[in-house]
Every structure is written in structure tokens, then in C-alpha cells.
Amino acid sequence: MAIGSLVASVALLVAGTAANGPIFAVAIVIIQVAGTLVLYDAAFTALVQVTGTEARKRITHLTLIAGFASTLFWPLTSWLDATLGWRTVFVVFAVGNLTICVPLHVLLWRLGRILPQPADGPLPEHAPARSPVLAMWLTTIGFALSGFALAAILAQMVPLLSAVGLGAGALLVSALFGPAQVLVRFVNLLLGAARHPIGAALLALGLVPIAIAALAVGAPAASAAVLFAAMLGFGSGLKSIVQGSLPLALFGRGGYGARLGVMASVRQVLASVAPFSLAFLIETLGVRPALWIIAAVGFLGLLCLLQVAGLVGNTPSADFEVNPP
């Protein structure tokens, strides 16, 4: 994470001072690569390494705090752009990464070396009842398909809402997404700490296609759009948590970082083509058929997680209690 913050600092500085388009484009690509070293997946792994049995709770805390990122930095970035210009915005963020993020990540690395290391190995009470390999790939594919649906919508949310008839209200409705993410993470922190994360995972992956279907059915009614934004925010907010906590609960701390890396790779490959896929579907079939297809992809992700719920020996509605090792 420290290396990622340093690389991000340099890339942001290059983007802000780029003399031409190709240099700027390369800098943007490097920024995205650096993101894989500093965002949720890397942070979850660091928490597991440092906090051991407390990791699941700390993952929830982290996602709750990080839920405010867009709420704070979208308006801040807009204000800085209007005040200082876009190039200065990149430079300011480069300095912030260098002076704030790099030292914090170095401190976290040192804590990981100083603090007693938790024992590796699976958590027997959390492991799938049978076929962990199958559970691993079902979980990976389930999150990836749901991530595809979510990425497709989020990349074009405002234009999409405008296309289904919301007009000027599209921006206002889309602003509900961020607060919904924070709210559901807070509720999960209060109510979900004593439960196996498979329940929250099923809810998260179910909310995404339901939200998209609600928009396809109800738009341009404002109530349908509000329901869509809220449910999508709830699904996205929970999904950010369970993508870190569910693999930990199912397979334990041993090899957690490598396992999360595999899962993230599959997820990000699908997410990278999702916006183009949605645009193609809209151009070819129209907005509403495209929404139904994207919702169907998200539903397939839910079906994968339902199979994982079966592998842990419970039904989707069961109450999964967590017993710390």
C-alpha cells in the first residue's frame, strides 16, 4: 500500500503537468494500476494481517468511513477545479498522497511487523461444509457478475436516468446513492456483527438486480428512480463489505491476500467491459431491454452465492452465528 501511494503520487503529478495527451493517458492508466495496491482489497488484506480475529469488524469500520469518500471528494474536487484549475487538482492530490497516505501506510506496515501475528489456517466454524474449491470459484464468479452489473450502471448513472425520462432530476436522484451506501454499512455495523456474512452477501447481490429491474419497470416515475438509487446504494455498500469478510469467513486467514487478489482480478476484468457492454446494448436494443439484460447478469451472480450458501450447510434464510476462534 505504501508503494501504491507513492506510485499514485508520481502518476498524479505527471497527469497534472502533462505536456500532451499521450503522457496524460499513460499517467491515468498508472493511477488506476496504483489503485489496485491501495484500495479495498489491499486494505482488507492489511487488516487481516494486523488485526487477526478482529479483521471482520475492522473491515466494516473501514468501509463505513470510506463510504464518505465520494460524498466528500466529489464536491471538493469540483470546488478545487473551479477555483484552481484541473491541473492543480492533480498536483494537490499528488501532494496529499505523498504527505498523508504514504506515511500512514508505512506506519501500518511497521505495525504489521511489530504486533504479534495471528495464526494462519481456516476457521473451521466458517469453512464450507464441502468442496472449498467449488465455493471459492462460485464466490468469485458471483461477485464478478454482480460487479459487472453494478459497474455498468454506475459508469453511466446520470445519463441512464436521463435516458429513461428523469431529465433534470437525474443528478439529484443519483446523489442518493452515496448516502444509501453509508447508511447500510452503519446498519450492518450495528446488526450484522454477530452473523455469518453469507446472509449479507445474498442480500447485497440480490439488491443490485432488483434495483435495476425497478428502474426498468417504473421509470420515468420519480418514486421508481429513488427506489432504484437507494437499493443500488444499499447493495453496493454491503457488497464492498462482504467481498472482504465472506472469503475470510469461508476460508480463513491463510492465503487470504492471494485469494482476494484472484477474486479481484476476475471481478475487475468483467467490470472493465461492463460500461461498454451497456452502451452497446442501449444502442442496439434500447434502454429498457438493456436494463433487463444487465439485471439478469446480476441475478446470475446471486444464484452463484445461493450455491455457496448451500455449501456452508445452511439455507439462505438461516441465521449464521459467528463464534470467534
pLDDT at 132 > cutoff 80: yes
Q: What is the pLDDT of residues 206-253, one digit of tens each?
A: 999 999 999 999 988 989 999 999 999 999 999 999 999 999 888 888
Quickly list DSSP for 130-184: S-HHHHHHHHHHHHHHHHHHHHHHHTTHHHHHHHTT-TTHHHHHHTTHHHHHHHH
* Structural domains of the chain, with CATH: 2-114 (no CATH), 132-311 (1.20.1250.20)
- Please state the rounded mean pLDDT for residues 150-177: 87
What confidence tier does 36 reach under pLDDT thresholds 50, 70, 90?
confident
For 78-102, b/e burial (b = at least 16 CB within 10 A) is eebeeeeeeeebbbbbbeebbeebb
The pLDDT-based confidence of 114 (bands split at 50, 70, 90) is low
Distances (CA, A) of 284 to 267, 280, 281: 25, 6, 5
Residue 97: DSSP 8-state: I
The pLDDT of residue 243 is 93
Which residue shows C-alpha cell 446513492? Answer: 177
Residue 117: its pLDDT value, please? Answer: 56
Instruction: Look at residue 127 in the predicted model and tell me its pLDDT.
Output: 46
pLDDT of residue 325: 33
The mean-pLDDT minimum among 176-185, 192-201, 246-255, 298-307 falls in 192-201
What digits encode the pLDDT tens for the residues 146-155? 999 999 999 8
Q: What is the pLDDT of residue 123?
A: 45
In the prediction, which pLDDT does 320 show?
A: 36
- Mean pLDDT throughout 93-103? 95
